[in-house]
Amino acid sequence: MRLVLMGPPGAGKGTQAKIIAGRLGIPVVSTGDIFRANVSEGTPLGLEAKRYMDAGDYVPDAVTNGMVRDRLTQDDTADGFLLDGYPRTVAQVEELHAMLADSGTSLDAVVVLTVDDEELVQRLLHRAETEGRTDDTEEVIRHRQDVYNEQTAPLLEVYAGRGLLVEVDGMGAVDEVTGRVFAALDKVRGTTAG
């Protein structure tokens, strides 16, 4: 399967992506994780990305798109993948569409996790205590929510119009949310996943 997992910061994308992809036997491609790996290795990409991430802004499309294009040419993604946190802008949607068209493929579904705003802030503040991520301060979290609402929320309509959008309630325990994702995927695609 070729899946996209979307949702506001703190919705549980990274958490669910690992579980879902593990069960489906496909790799996770997380743009956030790739950026963070580059930041900790001090690569030129990491140095550039860090400026934006620390402020809660999106890394420029040209940088992000090039990185994803490279990743999706690797062999392990040939039979499927789960994109976690990409695309996040309309330009990224079109670039992804072009990348897949170049290889004669297309997306199967775009899953969006929905979670109340205050719950999102609480989850990220809790993560700040445990992981110390530099973009998990309350001020930056609220800015990330605004950026999501301005730049990423409009993508939901785009994917709904293409018949790909699957909305899943992201409130509640992690395993409950996973169960809802698979139930929704089974319903939409008639898959045998899980």
Nearer to ligand B4P, 89 or 185 (CB): 89
Binding to ligand B4P, residues 131-150 (CB under 6 A):
135, 144
DSSP-based three-state secondary structure for 26: coil
Per CB under 6 A, the segment of 20-28, 83-91, 97-105, 185-193 that binds ligand B4P is 83-91
Residue 88 among the catalytic residues: yes
Question: Between 35 and 74, how does the x/- string for binding to ligand B4P read (CB under 6 A)?
Answer: x----------------xx--x-xx----x----------
Residue 144 among the catalytic residues: yes
Count the helices and strands in the chain (H runs, E runs): 9, 5
Residue 13 among the catalytic residues: yes
Per CB under 6 A, the segment of 5-13, 104-112, 156-164, 179-187 that binds ligand B4P is 5-13
Q: In angstroms, give the least distance from the CB of 7 to ligand B4P.
A: 7
Q: Give whole-number Cα distances, 37 to 45, 50, 146, in Å.
A: 10, 11, 25
Q: Is 10 in the site for ligand B4P (CB under 6 A)?
A: yes
Q: 2, 50, 144, 180: which one is catalytic?
A: 144
Exposed e or buried b for every residue in 82-112, given b needs 16+ CB within 10 A?
Answer: bbbbbbbbeebbebbeeeeeeeeeebbbbbb
Residue 189 among the catalytic residues: no
Q: In angstroms, give the least distance from the CB of 32 to ligand B4P.
A: 2
Q: What are the backbone angles phi and psi of residue 168, rounded to the nearest 5°?
A: -130, 135
CB 4 within 8 A of CB 81: no
Q: Is 11 in the site for ligand B4P (CB under 6 A)?
A: yes
**Cα 86 from chain centre:** 5
DSSP-based three-state secondary structure for 82: strand
Nearer to ligand B4P, 26 or 49 (CB): 49
Strand order in the sheet with 2-6: 28-30, 81-84, 2-6, 109-114, 165-169
The catalytic site residues sit at 13, 88, 127, 133, 144
Tell me which residues touch ligand B4P (CB under 6 A): 9-15, 31-32, 35, 52-53, 56, 58-59, 64, 85-86, 88, 92, 123-124, 127, 135, 144, 173-174, 177
